[in-house]
Amino acid sequence: MKNFNKTHVSAGARTELHDLLKLTGAEISVNELPAGGCVPFVHSHKQNEEIYAILSGKGKVEIDGEIVELAAGDWIRISPSAKRQFFAFGEGLKYICIQVKANSLEGYTASDAVI
């Protein structure tokens, strides 16, 4: 049995990596919104916080009624209960979303590593 899984993500509106990589502790997706596009719903979560990495483009996210501008290089963490919706400007918005159970991290890279 291998101790790793690999996949390749090409262009597309949304690619969920859970099944492709056989993830057991996180959900990760690669997302693209076209210029003027948006996630078509407002949502929150029961347990999972979300971490977003903006890869390219510009846009905004509305979180509990507050507008947060986004640009390539930005990272943002959103609490589970926060209501959120993403919007793309200009050439569109490409981002990675990482979902993990809030307050589940027990160690960091250095303290969890075995040398």
Say if residue 91's pLDDT is above 80: yes
- What mean pLDDT is reported for the chain? 92
Q: Which residues contact 50 (CB under 8 A, 6 or more apart)?
A: 77, 78, 84, 97, 98, 99
pLDDT for position 1: 62
- Mapped to the 3 state alphabet, what secondary structure does 68-113 carry? EEEECCCEEEECCCCCEEEEEEEEEEEEEEEEEECCCCCCCHHHHC
pLDDT for position 99: 96
So what CATH class is 23-103? mainly beta
For 11-24, write each residue's pLDDT tens digit.
778 888 899 999 99
Q: What is the pTM of this model?
A: 0.89
Q: Identity (one letter) of the amino acid at 89?
A: F
Radius of gyration of the chain (CA): 15
Q: Which helix or strand (DSSP H or E) is residue 20 part of?
A: helix 18-21
Say if residue 67's pLDDT is above 70: yes
**Bridge partners for 66 per DSSP:** 63
Mean local confidence (pLDDT), 31-46: 95
In whole angstroms, give the CA distance from residue 97 to residue 19.
Answer: 15
Say if residue 42's pLDDT is above 90: yes
